[in-house]
Chain A
Amino acid sequence: MGFEYDNFLDSLSYGIRYLPVTAKLAFTALFVGIIVGLVVAVVRHYKIPVLSQFLAVFVTIYQGIPTMAALLVYNLLFSSLIGDIINALHLKVAVRDVDNIVVGYVALSLFSVVSISETFRGAFMSVNKVQFEAGYSVGMTKLQTLRRIIIPQVIPVAIPGLINNMVGIIKGTSLVSAIGIMEVMNASIIPCSRTYSFVEGYAAAALIYWMFTLVLETIAKRIEIWSKRFRKELA
């Protein structure tokens, strides 16, 4: 029983067919993470009472939970509560028609919000306090200062961290295979159940993830250079 090249190609084609599912999971989480993460970072940076303390505790605690454990808990809650939720909302869908990919979206988005908010928070701290004061001194409101002065400076600083977050999220999408969602990882090993040889399937999945990350990373590096185009003169 050696490495069967034909089976590998077979797995590769199955895996690639499900790349859109993985991409959708990753990009939804990334998008939600950037929007909500930015809000969380702003709230914590301005130390808005109650909310900022609550978020600080939540982020610290949530960072301690492995995504895998979170996924399993959510999946369990989902499968035991979905019937009640459907009844409560009087929806006309059968329990078995609801896909648990929702769980994947929720778990990955939360993970991404928490990690991206920390990236933004670090980037906010790198902006000199004088910049805030400069905004106020010319009569801008807090929001105007934030939008026109601070965030444009935060973004180039945050991008390297965001690239790392993105890679982490893409890798995280493979974990949802553990709760039975059909994505690249699970799809790649479909042909393997016929041959009982799993190496080809996992090798195919690894190759797809690797290429996917490399392509996205290359694009992101371009954006990073582009976003820094105004900083060169200063440096």
Chain B
Amino acid sequence: MEHIFSFERLWKVIPQLTPYIGISIRIVLYGLVLGSLLGMVVAVIRIKRIPVIHQILSVYISFMRGTSMLVQMMLIYYGLPMLLLAVGIDINSWDKMTFVYMTFILNEGAFLGELFRAAIESVPAEQTEAGYSVGLTGAQTFLRIVLPQAVKTAIPGYGVDVIGMFQNTSIAFTLGVVDLIGRAKTIGTAMGHELEAYVYVAFLYIVVSILFRILFHWIDKRYSFGREGVAG
């Protein structure tokens, strides 16, 4: 057998594969932006303990926590069209990417919802009372006193979550989406050698993950003002 790894082939796959990182980034952006919005709704409902919805959300969060994203994605991909067909909406022609986005948004909604809830609840009740005592309304107290403190608490967890989400984008290829791994597979088949493409994919994931980590470390430092004295 000839060499299973050659740098010649590695150089050849680099320009072919690199643009596909964009698909993973796009999934992360969708999951981050829409997932955060969903997470905020989830957090508010859970904190206010709105009956019925609160219980439904507990089950939703438990499900998202207890099953892998791969299972969730398959369930949404095969289950949602069937569910919607029953009420007369046909989504069978939708792009596969839409289902990937949905999975990430729903999954992130649960995880970020819990993260936000924990962060908001970590702000001592006296802070809210202090807001009321100087005559602020409920919304003003939340926006000006509680939220800025909660955001600081949430940042490290948020960073870990985003990196995790970025790595989870590697499951998208199982639906047949041509992302990094999907493209690596087709290139590998065409060349007769898959290893170089996969090694490069792993390398790209490492680099982007580390960049994300540096970014969040910087954000965390940037917004930790006023905390040093308290942390002690």
Contact = CB atoms under 8 A, between A and B. Distances in A.
Given A64-B209, A65-B206, A81-B4, A198 B68 contact: no
Contacts of A77: 4, 195
Interface of B is mostly: helix
A66 B75 CA distance: 21
Contacts of A31: none
B161 to A, nearest CB: 12
B79 A202 contact: yes
A177 interface: yes
A84 B168 CA distance: 33
Contacts of B208: 64
Contacts of A209: 66-68, 71
A76 B68 CA distance: 24
Contacts of A104: none
Given A81-B4, A213-B65, A64 B74 contact: no
B63 interface: yes
Q: How large is the interface on B (under 10, 10 to 19, 20 to 34, 35 or more residues)?
A: 35 or more
A73 B68 contact: no
Contact of B194 (A69, A76, A202): A76
A63 B195 CA distance: 20
Contacts, number: 106
Interface stretch (B50-58, B122-130, B143-151, B197-205): B197-205
B178 interface: no
B79 to A, nearest CB: 5
Contacts of A66: 167-170, 205
Given A68-B170, A77-B195, A171 B202 contact: no
B215 to A, nearest CB: 14
A170 to B, nearest CB: 8
B68 A68 contact: no
A167 B65 contact: yes
A106 interface: no
B202 A69 contact: yes
A203 interface: yes
Contacts of B209: 63-64
Contacts of B63: 206, 210
A223 interface: no
A230 to B, nearest CB: 25
Interface string B168-183: 1111001000000100
B82 A69 contact: no
A222 to B, nearest CB: 17
A77 B194 CA distance: 10
B142 to A, nearest CB: 28
A108 B98 CA distance: 29
B74 A73 contact: no
Given A68-B170, A198-B74, A199-B75, A73 B86 contact: no
A88 interface: no
B111 to A, nearest CB: 11
B205 A213 contact: no
B205 A65 contact: yes
B181 A175 contact: no
Interface centre among A70, A199, A211, by most chain B C-beta atoms within 10 angstroms, is A199
A73 B199 contact: yes
B82 A1 contact: yes
A76 B195 contact: yes
A171 B68 contact: yes
A72 B71 contact: no
Contacts of A68: 170-171, 181
A167 B82 contact: no
Interface of B: 1, 4, 62-63, 65-72, 74-75, 78-79, 82, 86, 167-171, 174, 181, 194-195, 198-199, 201-202, 205-210
Given A68-B171, A209-B66, 8 more contacts: A64-B167, A64-B206, A64-B210, A185-B71, A198-B74, A202-B75, A206-B75, A213-B66
Give 5 nearest A-B pairs by CB, closest first.
A64-B206, A64-B209, A171-B68, A213-B66, A66-B170
